[in-house]
Amino acid sequence: MIAKNLQDTTTLHNGIQMPWFGLGVFKVEDGTELVESVKAAIKNGYRSIDTAAIYGNETGVGQGIREAMAEYNVTREELFVTSKVWNADLGYESTLAAYETTLNKLGLDYLDLYLIHWPVEGKFQEAWRALETLYKDGRVKAIGVSNFQIHHLETLMKDAAVKPMINQVELHPQLTQKELIDYCKKQGIQIEAWSPLMQGQLLDHPVLKEIAEKHNKSIAQVILRWDLQHGIVTIPKSTKEHRIIENSNVFDFELSESEQSRIDALNQNLRVGPDPDNFDF
């Protein structure tokens, strides 16, 4: 099932509906620009907002959400808000405390999705136990992980009572993560792409340019459409309203199978972010 509009959702394995398309706010500083970009996204039909404790902008995201709800007559139930626990807080009690801090900063009563941000060896299992507690207590609608490779997921699921609903990973045409996608599909774990536009590095790629021109679309729109047709949830970042609108204008065209394959073939296992098997933070 391919998303037909901006409010279309995928059903996570616990029955929770998550929008296929959302706004990411990585590297957007807390302040007016952030508040306005969150409001612009919600005003223009976005219902999913993704932040993280380490971004240092949960306060502004919360303000943008509350102002948008008041101004555009959107209810909290219509929105899907994600945040992530940072590495320094990975432990049972410390993760529970980090969740409370995140809610306080956002000014919300609950999160729709809470993720472990990075698979810190020897620490993520205890953090996962805390996420399971939050989930079982009804404090969060869904729980998941970010930047987990297959072996991290296998380690986690050995002792887990609840299987992750989401794995949010760096994913774009030069890092297609095919093996990981196949594994997560088998496990019923929804893949979500961060940095879907490779932080702008793909926006003059000749193959993507050719496909974009054929459809009279931007390269960004082609990449985001490619995500959706692969059944990948995607959260492009932008702070400018015209770009927020443009990014989401991907529901009125379709890439052919051969175009999808040509984009798949651009894979070079190239990362713009850290390697989940080799990071030191």
Q: Which residues are catalytic?
A: 55
Distance CA 245, CA 249 (A): 6
Other Cβ atoms closer than 10 A to 135: 18
Q: Got the DSSP string for 247-260?
A: HH--SS----HHHH
Contact 25, 34 (CB under 8 A): yes
Residue ranges of E strands in the chain: 9-11, 17-19, 23-24, 48-50, 80-85, 111-116, 140-146, 166-170, 190-194, 233-234
Amino acid at 106: L
Amino acid at 200: G
Taking phi over 0 as left and psi of -120 to 50 as alpha, with beta for the rest, 199 belongs to left
> What are phi and psi for residue 250, nearest 5 degrees?
-125, 15
